[in-house]
Structure 1
Amino acid sequence: MSEKAKKAGRRSLAQRRDILINELWGDDLDDLNVWNRKIHDGFTTIPRTLT
């Protein structure tokens, strides 16, 4: 699989994830306290299978 195809797949998954998040929480999303690991130090990402 080419790099271009991989990026397109990631973009597609990100768009689907954004749509799903907006369907579930919609306007309440702005009020939620969501943690962003790229902004805050001291934490890391783990696979979902470990949670």
Structure 2
Amino acid sequence: MPKATLGLDIETKMINVPDTNYSVELYLYDCSGKDFYRGLVVKLVGNDASYP
């Protein structure tokens, strides 16, 4: 069973771009579904966040 998110979880991962010397850092934000955290989400990722 999946673990419920309480507040905000942030994960990062380095991904190498195939056939190049480049890499990118991926940030994953997992936010609680409660409206209490909506302002925090907007501050972190802007108004473009997919937030129901």
Give the alignment's TM-score, normalised by structure 2: 0.24
Give the alignment's TM-score, normalised by structure 1: 0.24
Please identify which structure carries the higher strand content.
2
Please identify which structure carries the higher helix content.
1
Bigger relative contact order, structure 1 or 2 (CA pairs below 8 A, ≥6 apart): 2
